[in-house]
């Protein structure tokens, strides 16, 4: 085995052309993609990806939740695979790159190795995870969540969309229910390592003028539902001191949520993303407000501080005639990524003449669940103006190519390159 990795580069034009080809399946008039999970369009996208994989000589495994694994054999195929991948399902008004880039960057790694006549000691796999977006079925990150044991296969298969169609029915309808076990607990193979390349979906890299982000962790998340009950009354005859206005403490709580997050910089996040005011009439004092709170942080200690501050704010804002109820609804623990794999990402960038920036992921990704089962790292590249989950989502071809180059060298360093 050679210890000197060849100075390979992926074929940037081929990667771009495949991205644009896949984007035509479910293309929207505004230049985005609407390819929801387990629809006919998703089937067509999967078949296109599988066609490219089979042309490269990959074997394909499909599991019971519809995850796809495209395998390039290693010289020691008994070793656990070094894997990469992401998802190809999109939001209803999604873009061309979210998820799709990670899958096609992985295929480009395999194609580049074939062109170079190189073998790896460990096998390589490219994954397509089912229903990452959660825009049709809940929970989000469904395929990787089942794989990692975050929830059961039966729970996922029973989930239904707004038309009452279950995941089980949708998988059968498009022929994507495979025979392979879906979770590591049931015998699905564990990876030796997993890398995921992704557009950042935020503005940090672009703002810093840096192309490669070495992702050290994914933020933990705590979500809450808040209900504030007062009493609706006529806006004219009711004096200010005698009102039971539910919107006043809601407005104050929104300010507190932002202040709590600002006190936890640089990685604290606080968002009130939904507010429902009843009766929502111009001349009626609001009698009820329902709102959401989303907190994120790199560690549980930070999330705990934010939780305590939120509860203190709720207690302080209680007033006669107005009650505030706080209900926790979601908890995703912070997920640090494997330090050795993160360093391979940094080293790959430096090898290619780039200075990487350590970043954290504010969004959830399949890598977050996979990291519960195997050493994992992510590679971020910028997206224009940090915009994602939007039809105008965009990324520069040269940035996407460089991210795939880093992925190539990180995977080779982990899998081992056999001398020709």
pLDDT digits (tens, 9 = 90+) for 18-41: 999 999 999 999 999 999 999 999
- Whether the pLDDT of residue 2 is over 70: the answer is no
Q: Which helix (H) or strand (E) holds 278?
A: strand 275-278
Q: Average model confidence (pLDDT) for the chain? A: 96
Please answer whether residues 255 and 271 qualify as being in contact, where contact means their C-beta atoms are separated by less than 8 angstroms.
no
In angstroms, the CA 266 to CA 80 distance is 37
% of the chain surpassing 70 pLDDT: 98
Q: Are strands 269-271 and 275-278 parallel, antiparallel or unpaired?
A: unpaired
- Whether the pLDDT of residue 419 is over 90: the answer is no
The single residue listed with the structure tokens 């501050």 is 309
Q: Are strands 275-278 and 376-381 parallel, antiparallel or unpaired?
A: unpaired
130, 136, 137, 141 alpha-carbon torsion, rounded to 10°: 40
In angstroms, the CA 256 to CA 5 distance is 52
- Whether the pLDDT of residue 1 is over 50: the answer is no
Architecture per CATH, 12-218+334-418: 3-Layer(aba) Sandwich (3.40)
CATH number assigned to the domain with residue range 220-332, chosen from the 4 options 3.40.50.280, 3.20.20.80, 3.30.70.360, 3.30.70.920: 3.30.70.360
Could you give the residue range(s) of every CATH 3.40.630.10 domain in the chain?
Answer: 12-218+334-418
Nearest to 137 by CA among 109, 104, 159: 159
- Whether the pLDDT of residue 286 is over 70: the answer is yes
294-325 tens-digit pLDDT: 999 999 999 999 999 999 999 999 999 999 99
Could you give the residue range(s) of every CATH 3.30.70.360 domain in the chain?
Answer: 220-332
**Which pLDDT score, from 0 to 100, does residue 330 have?**
86
Please answer whether residues 374 and 194 qualify as being in contact, where contact means their C-beta atoms are separated by less than 8 angstroms.
yes
Which of the pair, 420 or 306, is modelled with greater confidence? 306
Per-residue pLDDT averaged across 390-410, rounded? 97
Distant-in-sequence, close-in-space partners of 103: CB < 8 Å, separation ≥ 6: 49, 85, 86, 87, 88, 126, 127, 128
Pull the structure tokens for residue 59. 């074997």
The three-state secondary structure class of 350 is helix
352 CB neighbour count, 10 Å cutoff: 18
Please, how many CA atoms are within 13 Å of residue 303, restricted to the half-sphere of its CB? 21
Distant-in-sequence, close-in-space partners of 335: CB < 8 Å, separation ≥ 6: 217, 218, 220, 368, 371, 372
């Amino acid at each position: 085995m050679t210890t000197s990795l060849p100075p390979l580069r992926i074929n940037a034009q081929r990667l771009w052309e495949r991205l644009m080809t896949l984007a035509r399946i479910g293309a929207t008039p505004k230049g985005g993609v609407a390819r929801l999970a387990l629809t006919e369009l998703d089937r067509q996208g999967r078949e296109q990806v599988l066609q490219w994989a089979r042309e490269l000589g990959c074997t394909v495994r499909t599991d019971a939740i519809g995850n796809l694994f495209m395998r390039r054999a290693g010289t020691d195929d008994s070793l656990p695979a070094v894997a990469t991948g992401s998802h190809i399902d999109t939001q209803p008004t999604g873009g061309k790159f979210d998820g799709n880039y990670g899958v096609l960057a992985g295929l480009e790694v395999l194609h580049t190795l074939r062109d170079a006549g190189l073998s790896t000691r460990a096998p390589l796999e490219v994954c397509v995870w089912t229903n990452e977006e959660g825009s049709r079925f809940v929970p989000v990150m469904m395929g990787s969540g089942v794989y990692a044991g975050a929830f059961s296969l039966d729970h996922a298969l029973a989930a239904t969309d707004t038309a009452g169609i279950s995941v089980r029915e949708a998988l059968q309808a498009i022929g994507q229910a495979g025979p392979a076990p879906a979770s590591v607990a049931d015998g699905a193979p564990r990876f030796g390592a997993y890398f995921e390349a992704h557009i950042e979906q935020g503005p940090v890299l672009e703002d810093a003028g840096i192309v490669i982000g070495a992702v050290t962790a994914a933020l933990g998340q705590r979500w809450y539902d808040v209900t504030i009950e007062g009493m609706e009354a006529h806006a004219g005859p009711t004096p200010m001191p005698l009102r039971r206005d539910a919107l006043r403490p809601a407005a104050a709580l929104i300010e507190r949520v932002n202040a709590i997050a600002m006190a936890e910089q640089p990685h604290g996040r606080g968002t009130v993303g939904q507010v429902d005011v009843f009766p929502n009439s111009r001349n009626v004092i609001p009698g009820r407000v329902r709102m959401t709170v989303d907190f994120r942080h790199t560690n549980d200690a930070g999330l705990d501080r934010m939780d305590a501050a939120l509860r203190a704010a709720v207690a302080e804002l209680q007033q006669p005639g107005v009650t505030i109820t706080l209900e926790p609804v979601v908890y995703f623990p912070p997920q640090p990524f494997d330090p050795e794999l993160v360093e391979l990402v940094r080293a790959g960038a430096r090898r290619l003449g780039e200075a990487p920036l350590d970043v954290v992921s504010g969004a959830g990704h399949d890598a977050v669940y996979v990291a519960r089962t195997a050493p994992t790292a992510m590679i971020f590249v910028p997206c224009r103006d940090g915009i994602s989950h939007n039809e105008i989502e965009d990324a520069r071809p040269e940035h996407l190519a460089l991210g795939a180059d880093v992925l190539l060298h990180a995977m080779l360093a982990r899998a081992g390159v056999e001398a020709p």
